[in-house]
Chains A and B, each alone.
Chain A
Amino acid sequence: MALKPINRKADRMVTYLANQGDVPEAEQMAGPVGPAAGAVEGGADENAEDVVALGGRLPEVPEIPHIPLGCSLVFAPGWEVDEAGGTAGLCQPVERDLFDCHLACFWPAHVPDQLNHSPDWTGKCAAAQNDWRKLEMIFP
């Protein structure tokens, strides 16, 4: 059984291979033509949702990344959100990264700093990924 192209781009590739490269390069870039056009015409609707996240216009998408109060956006990654305004770029799990943040005072408004306020914050906690329950929230 032939595999079904999952979206328009895949469909164009299948059509191109089927035609063994007969489709001029410029037309490949512009979109399906000839036999491929028909194939996509028929499959366009059912496949349309496949590419909605790539090219579709999502309603009510915030115009700009949200910067919540007190949050910094610009580091890679940031504390609450990454550069894209989401969480995909955060260090994960965060416990793996906590000691570095503590020792380097890298997030002084988010993680207790070893240099000044909380030199012993990790005293009960040898490996944050395992012992993170021994950490405490600090009110400097």
Chain B
Amino acid sequence: MVHRPRLTRARLLAGLIAAGSFVVASGASAQSDEEGFPIDHETIRARCAACHLPDSEGRMSRISFERKTPEGWQGSLQRMISLNGVTLAPEEAREIVKYLSDQQGLAPEELRPGLFEVEKRMIDHRYLADTDVEFTCIQCHSMGRVITQRRTREEWELLMSTHRGYYPLADFQAFLRMGPTPDQPGPDGEPPDTRQPMERAVDHLSEVFPLHTPEWAAWSATMRPPRLEGTWVMSGHWPGRGALYGTVTMGGGGEQDAFVTRASYTFPGTGETVTRRGRGLVYTGYQWRGRSFESDEADGAMREVMLVERGMNEISGRWFRGDYDEIGMDVRLTRLAGSPVVAGVHPRALQLGGGEREVRIFGAGFADGVGPGDVDLGPGLTVNRVVSASSEEIALNVTLAPDAVPGGRDVFVGGATLAQAVVVHDGVDRIQVLPRTGMARVGGIVFPKGYQQFEAVAFDDGPDGRPSSDDDLELGPVEVDWSLEEYAATFDDNDIEFVGSIDQTGLFVPAADGPNPDRDRNRNNVGDVWVVATLVQDDNGDRPLRARAHLVVTVPLYLLFDAGANVSTGASPDPAASPNGRGSRTPGPNPGMGGSPK
């Protein structure tokens, strides 16, 4: 990455004054010779053509030369409504987003690297294809926004112009070089790159993310309305609550690509069972956007973002809620089509030693009258008897041989199999806190709290006895004692006294927003702390195992470009509900487009 000087606002203002009417050409604006997509949608032509003039081929300026996710198109419409005076009825907006997402969307292969963006995962993303371009873009937003779009070169140039027009300081924050033009060859001996950062970004993005790609050509040729009706076996993981297993039943939603759902799942670790009803709409033939509600109450509302795999037998993604979309679970659905499906085993980790134990297998389609001979848990594991059995759960009495070889076991049940469903180990050797770095936001008075859930995962060091080597066995989440420790970044800041607290499920709850009069210089309740997990093993007298993660407790966001929060999922089961837990907080100038309040 090119080193750039630190930019403070004071320096920035000085730069503005000195720069005066500093103008840099925004690059060639040659007419694109690529063909855009004709718009064959009456509402778009009626409501958008005043500005986006159609040509003789039915192509409309700008619109025809981009491809995006539903969230991307929704964001464009929101901007048109907010800043350009467009008025659209909610149903018109839904029509437009659906049409454009289907006709000018992304192929599954194109979306996959940017899934974290639409699934709202807080990850440490690295864009390695061009770190300078990454540097330019992530000054203000995630790189996920960029890599989930496709445009002609002219459109990428216009995107830059839009940024510069709406946010003039972007020139000095990211788009223009702060410093002299390089005039010396680089380390590789090549001539210096004298392009401005935004010119380099246009060059790169128009090459890597063009409008037309083989992936889109192939997908758009085979894309069709998905056939998802039926029963799906559900497995998932909710950090802090553990694994979950159940089923999802999907039925037609009354219009093309729309479905109604009923999900029922159990957390084996706690025994808690949850039932949800919801709706979903599939964009571009594979992008599931849904909302579901727990027991018809809005409080349990979750958004569902999933990807339907080719073949339509697997669906995976994330269900989430929270003001910052920070609470949720990973979900995988497998179609139940005649033969049984194994979703998982609880407990998954079986420690050597001890006598008989109970193991439960979760899934669906298990045959009546299953016997011990129908289940194979692998070498060293003997099924003594079936304790209870239903079509979705089999409880077994199992003996683990003292000399069983530690390692993962595939499980077979009546013709169904699940790889690495059980792991045999000889004790926990270390634990790790996930995520290794987390972020929470102060809130609760005016702005919402941003929570951070942590989880402790146990490991067996494996046959070589060395930690963090390739043969380590992951044993899954374990219950630990949670605590906070000071992160010694600044002398005597006592962050730990102000930032908030962590409960014994690993959920960090940040302190209140606003200046804190009890703190030096009225500082907010922000700070850096260690989140420490301690596992006391009482069976061998070993000293407790400890692990920790870095937690940043920081300031709120004061606006959310969260277009995804409102992407239509068909008719809401409860129009008065607050589907994402944002309560009745006043939206900005955007009239709700999704038919349900934020």
Identify the A interface with B (CB < 8 A).
53, 60-62, 66-76, 79-81, 83-88, 90, 92-96, 98, 100, 104-113, 115-118, 129, 132-133, 135-140
Contacts and interface: CB of A to CB of B under 8 A. Distances in A.
A96 B523 CA distance: 10
B23 interface: no
Contact of A60 (B4, B140, B436): B436
Interface in B422-448: 436-437, 439, 445-448
B7 interface: yes
B328 to A, nearest CB: 14
B125 interface: yes
B431 to A, nearest CB: 11
A98 B558 contact: yes
A46 to B, nearest CB: 18
A84 to B, nearest CB: 7
Interface stretch (B240-248, B372-380, B583-591): B583-591
A68 B439 contact: yes
Contact of A133 (B446, B448, B495, B556): B446
A106 B169 contact: yes
Contact of B558 (A68, A70, A83, A111): A111
B279 interface: no
Interface string B135-163: 10011111010000000000000000000
A134 to B, nearest CB: 8
B9 interface: yes
B82 interface: yes
Interface in B526-558: 526-528, 547-550, 552-558
Contact of A93 (B9, B142, B524, B552): B524
A75 B7 contact: yes
Contacts of B412: none
Contacts, number: 192
A74 B141 contact: no
A93 B515 contact: yes
Given A80-B552, A100-B9, A92 B521 contact: yes
Given A109-B140, A132-B514, A137-B559, A115 B446 contact: no
B121 A69 contact: yes
B53 interface: no
Given A92-B526, A108-B167, A139-B587, A87 B561 contact: no
Nearest to A95: B515
Contact of B561 (A94, A104, A136, A140): A140
Interface-centre pick from A80, A100, A113 (highest chain B CB count, 10 A): A80
Nearest to A113: B167
Contacts of B553: 87
A62 B515 contact: no
B166 interface: yes
B437 A62 contact: yes
B558 A135 contact: yes
Given A53-B488, A76-B6, A87-B552, 11 more contacts: A60-B548, A69-B116, A76-B7, A87-B526, A93-B516, A94-B556, A109-B141, A111-B558, A133-B445, A133-B514, A140-B79
B64 to A, nearest CB: 25
Given A70-B142, A86-B528, A88-B489, A137 B522 contact: no
B398 to A, nearest CB: 35
A104 B554 CA distance: 22
Nearest to B516: A93
A110 B557 contact: yes
A114 B52 CA distance: 27
Interface string B56-70: 000000000000000
B124 to A, nearest CB: 6
A112 B557 CA distance: 9
A112 B142 contact: no
Nearest to A108: B167
Contacts of A90: 526, 554-555
B450 to A, nearest CB: 10
The 8 tightest CB contacts between A and B, nearest first, are: A66-B437, A93-B515, A138-B559, A138-B588, A88-B490, A109-B140, A92-B523, A69-B122
